[in-house]
Structure 1
Amino acid sequence: MVQASEHLQVEPGLPRTPRVTYRMTDLKAALAEPGVLAVFGFGAGAPGSDDPRWLRVALESFDAPAPLELWQVDGEVTCGRDDVVRWSSGGSWLFAVIELDERECGGTEGAARKAYAALRQFMSTRGERNVLRIWNYIGDINEGDNDAERYKQFCDGRAAGLGDFFAEGFPAATAIGHHHHSRVLQIYLLASTDAGTAVENPRQVSAWRYPRQYGRTSPGFARAMVMPAQDALAISGTAAVVGHASTHEGDLEAQLNETLTNLEALLTTAGMPAGFDTHSPLKVYVRLPTDAPRVRDILQRRLPGVPVLLMHGDVCRSELLVEIDGWCFA
């Protein structure tokens, strides 16, 4: 865990963190740009491609048309497929993605177990073995009661598939529910030849120490990750949680303000300057479509000029209305 410190000092000689941008551009043109490690589109309106670097995320954007998200590295990029894993690598960085139909895996838990076992096996063959950041998109994440809730089943399956892979520490991560008609589990990651430094939020209980009420298996993720060169902070999905409890149930604006307070606490703990700027792309997941305009207005006031992609997504706790993840670059 990183403790509060002076501002981060960029480490020379280590690979620069991939540049993350949102762009209104053509997919073919985006894939042709130098150093493109990955390109993401959002929702049913996103174009199709069989390029391993491309992923159509099963989340709809409240912005129409939605921009593409690009990751770019310094260096030549190669890409391919390894069984069910698609991947690309370049400049000491690795992007890997897996998509599984739950109906072919016995449900949520089975799909998570199979996906994470496959990713663990794939990562064992790579030089970029330091997994720094993971995204999980799960259909109908809050369906089911108590331990039968789909998110809790996902956590059980993820832990079973991983085994002791993250025994030395968890990466930053996001888990959000989508509304696609098919229950596809989408998981993608960013890894490096070099290790990052996990960051915890002093306002929150670490996710892997959650009490039993949150499921048989505690979520396995760090609240954020300082990238190897100390030039960026990858921020996990962050919501209105204080200690281990959700706060401000039913109050959208109070939840959003609490979330922004948690983000600032992460920046402080990581030794980053306060606030987000025009080079700090964020994703904001909103449970209720009717809340999206209000969320946009609040964020434009609180975070002027910050690139924000507003998505229709369900937070892993049904009482939480909004969650934010993203990047802050030094």
Structure 2
Amino acid sequence: DSGKVLVSVEPPIASIRIDNQVKALNSKQCTGGVRYNPVPQADGSVTVTVAGQLGEGCSSQTYLSLLDHATYTAGAVRAIWKELGGSIQGKDRLAPTPSSAKVLARAFSPDLAEIIRDINKYSNNTMAQQLFLSLGQKFRNDADGDDAKAAQRVVRQWLAKKGITAPHLVMENGSGLSRSERVSAREMASMLQAAWHSPYAAEYISSLPIAGTDGTMRKRLKTTAMRGEAHVKTGTLNTVRAIAGFSRDVNGNTWAVVAILNDKAPFGASSVLDQVLLDLYKQPRTPQTASVL
């Protein structure tokens, strides 16, 4: 209806309630903004107040982690089963699978190219860690001890196979969401160069956010000459800001770019990193086009 703004949750978990306070703007330009404020309730549910303004034909979305793993999983199963016309009478229970259980249905993961697109475009830490652990599970041997150590070994073997020396690299979490993790900018650039020469380069590069266009880079460099000229993954911790990816200059050359900024209060760091891309773009014009990578 005119003047109405639809707000929905996917999957539609019953314990997540929406308080829709979004107002419709009489404008076809996507101005204004939407704010999401989740508030846990005493009964274990979560109420998300959605406020702000949206123009006609415009949309807004965000990813929120509102429930613990067990509650989310149970709620998602119930919601999807209900959408299919079924109902579940029993209570939620977290326990080992009974040995007498029978497989009724089996679901298969999307392929890796599709998964890394979600991971990189929206910086999904949970998915990155699960992919890291899955890698370890697939190639784990008796000497590894656990999936994480197996994944670390496999990654280091891959680096050695590619001729990449990375003495500064410390891996604890597959997402990099760790105070222990380390990597140098040069080591990261070497990995990007290896990716550029990989048979799967196109799939990997297309998984990275496009400057000023989508993912975590959608609002950055939007009104500059860099819009659409770089595929860049962002990195954020309380005291760290980083970018890594591929960026073109004014001559059409493509560069592997890595910049890591460590500071106790990295306010304005994103602007500094954006300027790195802008300065790289503004190369002296040359008559020929060559590949820097």
Superposed pair shares fold, TM > 0.5: no
> Greater helix share, 1 or 2?
2
TM-score by length of 1: 0.27
**Which has the larger Rg?**
2
Higher relative contact order (CA 8 A, sep 6+): 1
> Greater strand share, 1 or 2?
1
